[in-house]
Amino acid sequence: MSSLDPMLRKLLLLLLLAPLPALPVFASERLAALDEKVLGWMEEAGLPALHYGIIENGRVVHIGRLGEAAAPGASATADPAFAIGSLTKAFTAHAVLLLEERGVLALDQPVVDWLPEFASSSRADEPLRIIDLLHHRSPFNAADGFSGHPSLDARVEELARIRSSRQASGGFAYSNANYELLGAIIERAAKRPFDQFIQQEVLDPLGIKARFAPDSEQLGAPGHQDVFGWDWPIDRYRLSPSEWPSGGLVISLPDYLRSLQVHMDPEAFASANGLSPEGFRRWHAAGSAEDDLGYAFGWFQITLAGRPMLFHDGLTSGFQSAAFLAPDKGFAVVAFANRNALPVGGAPAASQIARNIGREWLGEPHLWDGFAGLATQRWIKLGLLGLFLLGAARLLRPAARQAQSRRRWVVSMLVGCTLASILLFGLPAFLGLPLRALFGFAPDLAALLLGGAAMAVAGPLLRRPAALAGRHEP
């Protein structure tokens, strides 16, 4: 033994004198600087809180928790749950792929095989297939995707009626309706409620804690709504069960990051995850076909800092989210925020922040428009508010009640009805949301449109024709 002592001493000396390995690129100094930069973006966007995470080489290297996200009285150590909106679609797609691999359904199968409500509108020459719903290649448009029902069956009946009045799809058209129909197919194919199947077959086996919040449930992270630029707290999260497959999941950031790690290394999770590694590879490549326009199975195909990525974002009442994922590179960046503000002509704040975090991390300069979309929508709302107040003042004048000649009254009534139609249907269509959905995304704007439409019609109604007022018409 004594003969080994000198050798051991030399080995220990070499270990002590050897240069230390270089610090990883995610050193604490870099993370602190990134947190400070992201905090500035968060405050500029008016977000009460922002939780973001970075995965590199398949492992979580940083979670930033900025602002106050937890509800009063919540545990200080627990990560609050956020409503993630359309990021839910990937979980719905996961369930469909599981059922396909188990031989329960086929992706090229006509939708009518599972939803006979579509029988009257089904076309033999061009049937609507499950794969069409997954890729948003159906006759449904964005406005069709906002209609709450207490059950998926009721939603199917409504969409079947809409389908019967539409021509075949002309190509890609993003609509929540597609994934709500997929949720109904999952229920019927799995013979159990949609949320139960997702919980038991997708989330629980992977150790992911998440849920579909019932209507009017208080969440771990209270939501907030932009109202004329001011922050309006939302005590309760409202989303009907028929909307769960397209945007109803509630999950903490660490649990969502774990769901992305499954995409990066499905072999490591093979014992718990029912979807095969080959199934994940098909999933990630599906949206690259030219006719898919870069969308498939709950993800868009885009580039970030010159690198191909899967991407999706989500907007829902009081919350917004965004995720970039490069499964073959083991990289992802995610941002959750608990404030919703509908941008006009720009990306949501969480999407911009997540994109710029990714660019900063990958060594590219960030791209910043100063939340131009948020500024635009605020100017639109303030402009409409000014017109609303001006119109109200005009209606209150005594002259507003004076009778008019029949001809002038008819013209003013036509103008009023046209303006009301523009406010109730035209502007919401321009924004891609029906008026009902606007009350969830931008209640101040929705109230202005509704009030403006009422005033546009009220003005002519107050000015009765002279003949009805008992006066002689010239």
Q: What is the pLDDT of residue 166?
A: 67
Q: State mean pLDDT over 255-275.
A: 85
The string of pLDDT tens digits covering residues 223-264 is 888 887 777 888 777 788 999 999 999 999 999 999 999 999
Q: What is the pLDDT of residue 76?
A: 47
Q: What is the pLDDT of residue 216?
A: 56
- Beta bridge partners of residue 336, listed in sequence order: 51, 321
Helix or strand or coil: residue 344?
coil
Q: Answer whether residue 17 shows pLDDT above 60.
A: no
Query: Considering the chain, what percentage of its residues have pLDDT values greater than 70?
Result: 79
Q: What is the pLDDT of residue 64?
A: 93
Q: What is the pLDDT of residue 169?
A: 60
Q: What is the pLDDT of residue 92?
A: 97
Report how far residue 122's alpha carbon sits from residue 129's, in angstroms, rounded to the nearest whole number. Answer: 10
Q: What is the pLDDT of residue 78?
A: 67
DSSP output for 128-160: -BHHHHHTT-SS--GGGG----SSHHHHHHHHH
Which of 48-52, 68-72, 139-143, 233-237 is the least confident region?
68-72
Q: What is the pLDDT of residue 5?
A: 52
Q: Answer whether residue 382 shows pLDDT above 70.
A: yes
Tokens of 59: 């492992």
Please list, in sequence order, all residues whose beta carbon lies within 8 angstroms of the beta carbon of residue 306, skipping any fewer than 6 positions away: 364
Q: What is the pLDDT of residue 13?
A: 35
Q: State mean pLDDT over 395-424.
A: 80
Alpha-carbon dihedral angle through residues 250, 311, 134, 439, given to the nearest 10 degrees: 50
When mean pLDDT is compared over 97-101, 147-151, 204-208, 466-470, the highest value belongs to 97-101
Q: What is the pLDDT of residue 2?
A: 43
Contact 458, 465 (CB under 8 A): no
Mean of the per-residue pLDDT values for the chain? 82
Look up residue 258 and give its amino acid.
Answer: R
Q: State mean pLDDT over 425-432.
A: 80
Q: What is the pLDDT of residue 289?
A: 52
Which of 239-253, 275-289, 363-377 is the least confident region?
363-377
Report how far residue 443's alpha carbon sits from residue 428's, in angstroms, rounded to the nearest whole number. Answer: 12
Report how far residue 127's alpha carbon sits from residue 137's, in angstroms, rounded to the nearest whole number. Answer: 11
Look up residue 369 and give its amino acid.
Answer: D
Report how far residue 332's alpha carbon sits from residue 304's, in angstroms, rounded to the nearest whole number. Answer: 11
- Beta bridge partners of residue 321, listed in sequence order: 314, 336
The string of pLDDT tens digits covering residues 93-146 is 999 999 999 999 999 999 999 999 988 766 655 788 999 999 998 889 888 888
Q: Greater confidence, 191 or 448?
A: 191
Q: Answer whether residue 187 shows pLDDT above 70.
A: yes
Which of 5-19, 29-43, 166-180 is the least confident region?
5-19
Q: Greater confidence, 473 or 278?
A: 278
Question: HSE-up of 349 (CA within 13 Å, CB side)?
Answer: 31
Angle formed by the axes of helices 176-190 and 152-164, nearest 10°: 130
Torsion-angle region of residue 162: left (phi > 0), alpha (psi -120 to 50) or beta? alpha
The DSSP element (H or E) to which 388 belongs, if any, is helix 372-396
Report how far residue 93's alpha carbon sits from residue 91's, in angstroms, rounded to the nearest whole number. Answer: 5
Residue 191's pLDDT band, with cuts at 50, 70 and 90, is very high
Report how far residue 285's alpha carbon sits from residue 313's, in angstroms, rounded to the nearest whole number. Answer: 19
Q: What is the pLDDT of residue 457?
A: 85
